[in-house]
A and B are shown apart, each in its own frame.
Chain A
Amino acid sequence: MSSATTTLESRGKVQLSQRRRTWRRFARHKGALIGIGFIILLIVVALTCQWIAPYDPNKTNLKLRGHGPSWEHWFGNDDIGRDILSRIMYGARVALLVGICSTTIAVSIGVLVGSMAGYFGGWVDFTLSRLIDTLMAFPILALLLTLSAVLGPSLRNVIIIVGVTFWASYARVIRAEVLSLRERDYVLAAQASGASDRRIILQHIVPNAIGPVIILASLAVGGVIIFESALSFLGMGISRPTPSWGTMLSDGRDHIRNYPHIAIFPGLAIAFTVLAFNLIGDGLRDALDPRERS
């Protein structure tokens, strides 16, 4: 018992200094810092947009149909005269909510399923692995569309749908990590000392397998945001009038010839946000996984 505890304590120290080194490596990655900066800015905008947005994002003004960028309206107005800048600001809420919440749901499910499959093995592994295979074999957007058609489009449903369909790849990664961790000394020691499976999984396995998942997840947030925008673009995502970048893009597509700015700005918003999350993901990978450092 006591030997196991000391091992853990010493591991904790190692982790601490490792964490410091990791941060230093991350901080060296300029792209990642820019990414972090952009996302923080975006979060601030999303939290404060009811005060800082110049206009009500749903306020229509037909007189301003398709007006281009101006001093009063920096990003111009859409086809029914709504202020595009304000809508982009409110749209950041949707993008971040979906991106972060869905990814969190997906990672949680993935970690749970993956670690169970890897740790218990046997029929549990077989069953869960087939479940993972099944989900991985599904064309993801097709699955999203089907589920969205069944549940009906709304912000909450989109978050849930994306969350419960995206976990398979995390589960697979975790499972592989756990398979190798399962044979490690400290796990064997914990098992020998009679710790419960739940305790071992949560205290020993998951913390050590989480690194690759964090990398995957940070890279996935961008993908989730793109999927949400595609879903909304196809009319099966966020219900109107809630401003979503995908919905705004789809509004703009009919007027792309006469008023291209209606589609350009939400497109740029999506691109920058996804780019920022990807840069953070790259930085994390370099920091957490020195093998792939470039």
Chain B
Amino acid sequence: MLAYLIKRLLQGALVLFLVTFFTFTVMYFMPGDPARTMVGQARVTEEQLDLIREKWHLNDGFFERYWSWISNLATGDLGISIMRPGQPISGMIGNAAWYTLQLTTLSMLISLLIAIPVGVLAATKRNSFLDYASTLGSTLGVAIPNYWIGIMAIVFFSVKLGWLPPYGADSWRAYILPVLVLSIEEMAAVMRLIRGTTIEVLGQDYVKTAQAKGLRRNTILSRHVFRNAMLPVITLIGYRMAFILSGTIVIETVFSWPGLGQLFFDAITNKDLQVVQAIVLLLTCIVVLMNIVTDMMYAVIDPRVRVR
């Protein structure tokens, strides 16, 4: 187990390196002049721009810059942001990540809380109204772009009815719309999956055996079905973490949410290489760790899975 863990961590480190190297390469070749972005609307001469490029090592070669990024990282220094030179990158990202984390975990929780019981029930009561409704709901939930739902929700609940604030992250009321809108897609995906796997598990021999033994339905459900049906869901959750940012970039924009997605978008448009690198680094770390944790959980939940 330990050897496996070490192997996975080493692989993860390699992935981390590749991801950051790739991002760095792409950002390095991005057209446009960061020096000019830095001076904003200032009217500066070419010489002044050169001074800035000199100071920020923007004229250095590719490998020189990449090496300095890596060696700074080793000392825990993420560099200086071009768009907000006065703010430490770690603080900037920490702050934004906190808001995104709240948004994603809350929506993930809500979607699981609703999707799991509904999915299992739908599977046990096939062709019932609930089954059809949940199937329809999850099909639609995946198909409708969530940012569009977000916009419509703002118009309806904030503009027309005035019930909920259209923006902000201060009061609990401000969380309602973004969390719910973000959870729709998740909910649809999980519900679909749970229903499918539950049906599959219900058809397995050991469940039939248990039924033949006269075990109570709830016992079967909780002891056999639920446990086995959860496996793919755990994979899905782990996998979805990779999409954290993807899911929130647009939603954060729609709800003016001060999270990582908006920060990333700002950094990209401002060609802020250091901030983009730092965010990508953080997210890749999360994904790599989540993947490892998922595999570990697998082993715990399903004793049949033995790690190689």
Contacts and interface: CB of A to CB of B under 8 A. Distances in A.
A binds B: yes
Interface of A: 31, 130-131, 133-134, 136-142, 145-147, 149-150, 152, 222, 226, 229-230, 233-234, 249, 253, 256-257, 260, 263-264, 267, 270-272, 274-275, 278-279, 282, 291-292, 294
A141 B246 contact: yes
A272 B143 CA distance: 7
A291 B200 contact: yes
Contact of A150 (B26, B126, B144, B253): B26
B18 interface: yes
Contact of B143 (A147, A150, A271): A271
Given A222-B143, A226-B145, A292-B200, A137 B250 contact: no
Interface stretch (B80-88, B174-182, B210-218, B263-271): B263-271
B-side interface size class? 35 or more
Nearest to B156: A260
A263 B154 CA distance: 13
Interface class of chain B by DSSP? helix
A270 B139 contact: no
B56 interface: no
B26 A130 contact: no
Interface stretch (B60-68, B282-290, B295-303): B282-290
B292 to A, nearest CB: 12
25 contacts: A130-B14, A131-B18, A134-B15, A137-B19, A137-B283, A141-B245, A141-B249, A146-B23, A226-B145, A230-B250, A234-B253, A249-B145, A249-B148, A253-B151, A253-B254, A260-B155, A263-B148, A263-B151, A267-B152, A270-B145, A274-B143, A274-B144, A274-B145, A282-B139, A294-B126
B126 to A, nearest CB: 8
B180 to A, nearest CB: 17
A291 B196 CA distance: 10
B140 A142 contact: no
Interface of B: 11, 14-15, 18-19, 22-23, 26-27, 29-31, 126, 139-140, 142-145, 147-148, 151-152, 154-155, 159, 196, 199-200, 242-247, 249-250, 253-254, 264-265, 268-269, 271, 276, 279-280, 283-284, 287-288
Contacts of B159: 256-257
B151 A145 contact: no
Contact of A146 (B26, B140, B147, B287): B26
B213 to A, nearest CB: 25
Given A137-B284, A140-B243, A263-B151, A294 B145 contact: no
Nearest to B285: A137
Nearest to A132: B15
Contacts of A257: 155, 159
Given A140-B243, A234-B249, A267-B151, 19 more contacts: A130-B18, A137-B288, A138-B242, A138-B280, A139-B244, A142-B245, A142-B264, A142-B279, A145-B249, A145-B268, A146-B27, A150-B30, A150-B31, A230-B145, A230-B147, A253-B254, A257-B155, A270-B144, A271-B145
Nearest to B16: A137
A130 B11 contact: yes
B142 A274 contact: yes
A277 to B, nearest CB: 8
Contacts of B265: 145, 234
A12 B142 CA distance: 37
The residue among A139, A150, A230 with the most chain B CB atoms within 10 A of its own CB is: A139
Interface class of chain A by DSSP? helix
Nearest to A267: B148
Contacts of A234: 249-250, 253, 265
9 tightest A-B CB contacts, nearest first: A141-B246, A139-B245, A275-B143, A267-B148, A274-B143, A134-B18, A271-B144, A137-B287, A133-B15
A133 B144 CA distance: 29
A112 B148 CA distance: 36
Nearest to A231: B250
Contacts of B140: 271, 275
B139 A278 contact: yes
B155 A140 contact: no
A74 to B, nearest CB: 20
Contacts of A140: 242-243, 246
Contact of B151 (A150, A229, A256, A272): A256
A293 to B, nearest CB: 10
Nearest to B32: A149
B298 to A, nearest CB: 16
B284 A138 contact: yes
Given A134-B18, A294-B196, A146 B268 contact: yes
Contacts of B142: 222, 274, 278
A272 to B, nearest CB: 8
Contact of A229 (B19, B31, B126, B145): B145
A264 B147 CA distance: 12
Contacts of A141: 245-247, 249-250
